[in-house]
Structure 1
Amino acid sequence: MILINLLPHREAARKRRRELFFITLGISGLIGGLIAGGIFLWYAAQISTQQNRNQVLATEIKRLEGQIKDIATLQEEIAALRARQQAVEDLQSDRNLPVHLLNDLVRLLPDGVYIQSLRQEGQTVTLQGSAQSNERVSELLRNLGTGSQWLTKPDLVEIVAGTVALSPREQRRVSNFTLRVRLLRSSEALKAASAASAAGSATPVAAAPAASGEKRNP
């Protein structure tokens, strides 16, 4: 017996393929949605975790900024206390400076030079006086520049010719001068003395090899 299929089998197969395509498309969409949802939830969790970390960091930064401000305040207070301590130490160590000044002036003043006034402003001492000649003033400048541990950097402000009356009938020409010299503090004088002694001790050490070499090669 011959069986003949008169049903529209092509349309039925096409319908099955269409249904299978839509089912596959729905399943793919569902899987894609699940994957996208999972990725979204993962990123959301990562963002939330990072935000929590940022919040913790911001809190720690604020705490550290407060500590830095406290440290800066403490450093300012320490600097102020050190400045006060240094001022007290300077006052205690500098109380003998007038004695050193007068002793050195008496010792370094050449013959024929007379001091008429002395004024101190800070560490600068201004001297006004008369000398028998300009050479006497030059000698005074040299003495002040090299002969004192407490006086340094003498500077001649002015020198003018003048006369002084020795008697009603006798007058003598003199040189009236004004000069400034810097009075070192005790700490500065100690540093200068240490530097000078170090330089003096370094010179023989450098010359020792040459001296020993001369002895070895008669």
Structure 2
Amino acid sequence: MIRINLLPHREAKRKQKQAAFIAMLVLGGLLGVAVVLLVGGWNASRIAIQEQRNAALSTENAELDKKIKDIATLKEEINALKSRQQAVEDLQGDRNQPVYLFDELVRQTPEGVYLKSFEQSGQRVVLNGYAQSQERVAELLRNLSGNSPWLERPELTEVKAATLTQNKLVRKAVEFTLAVAIKRARDTEEAADGKKAPLAGIARTEAKAGENKP
């Protein structure tokens, strides 16, 4: 017996296809939302971790900046203490400067030179005196510039002809004014140490050479 289906099967299939398409769209949308939520949550967690790291780095940087400031403050205090100590040592050394000055002036002043006066200002001394000739003045300058361990950098500021009267005798002379620097005690000690070091090296070299001789 032949059966004939008179129901609208095409419309039913069409509705089934539409329902399946809608279901696929809904499922795809749900999957997309889930993926977006998962990616957003992962990114949020990574951002939170990075922010925690940044906060830790900022804290460490602040502590390092504080330590650097403390170190800079300590260095300033150390430098200030060194400056004070150096000032105290200079004051103690400067107490003997008049003795060194008089002794050096006696040693370095050649014959034919008469010192009339001198004035000290800080580490500079201005000398005023008379000499038999300009050659005597030049000799005094050479002595002060090269032979004195306590005096250095002499500068002749004035030289002129003068007339001296002694026991009704009139003599021609040269009046001069010069300035010279006084070394501090620490400067002379450093210069002495600098001279000792090369001499010690030469002595060691000579000793080694003597050992190597047959």
TM-score by length of 2: 0.87
Aligned to 2:142: 142
Residues 56-78 of structure 1 show CA distances to partners (whole Å, capped at 9, x for unaligned) of 33333333333332332222222
- Counterpart of 1:90 in 2: which secondary structure? helix
**Equivalent-residue separation in structure 2 for 1:73 and 1:200 (angstroms):** 41
Native 8 Å contact 1:149 1:193 kept in 2: no
Instruction: Write the letter of the residue equivalent to 2:145.
Output: G
- Counterpart of 1:6 in 2: which secondary structure? coil
How many angstroms does 1:49 deviate by?
2.5
Q: 1:21-170, aligned counterparts within 5 Å?
A: 21-168=21-168, 170=169
**Equivalent-residue separation in structure 1 for 2:201 and 2:5 (angstroms):** 125
Instruction: Write the letter of the residue equivalent to 2:23.
Output: I
- Counterpart of 2:158 in 1: which secondary structure? strand
Residues 6-63 of structure 1 show CA distances to partners (whole Å, capped at 9, x for unaligned) of 3333332222122111101111110110111111112222222222332333333333
Native 8 Å contact 1:118 1:125 kept in 2: yes
How many angstroms does 1:206 deviate by?
7.8
Paired-residue identity, %: 48
Distance change (3 Å), C-alpha of 1:177 and 1:199:
farther
How many angstroms does 1:202 deviate by?
5.2
How many angstroms does 1:205 deviate by?
7.4
**Equivalent-residue separation in structure 1 for 2:203 and 2:146 (angstroms):** 22
Instruction: Write the letter of the residue equivalent to 2:55.
Output: Q
Instruction: Write the letter of the residue equivalent to 1:191.
Output: E
**Equivalent-residue separation in structure 1 for 2:201 and 2:56 (angstroms):** 60
Distance change (3 Å), C-alpha of 1:81 and 1:172:
same
Instruction: Write the letter of the residue equivalent to 1:175.
Output: V
**Equivalent-residue separation in structure 1 for 2:205 and 2:164 (angstroms):** 54
Aligned to 1:184: 183
Native 8 Å contact 1:130 1:175 kept in 2: yes
- Counterpart of 1:154 in 2: which secondary structure? strand
Native 8 Å contact 1:94 1:185 kept in 2: yes
**Equivalent-residue separation in structure 1 for 2:90 and 2:60 (angstroms):** 44
Most deviating of 146-155 and 200-209: 200-209
Residues 105-161 of structure 1 show CA distances to partners (whole Å, capped at 9, x for unaligned) of 101111110111111122111111110100000111111112211111222112111
TM-score by length of 1: 0.85
**Equivalent-residue separation in structure 2 for 1:2 and 1:194 (angstroms):** 133
Q: Which runs of 5+ in 2 are unaligned?
A: none
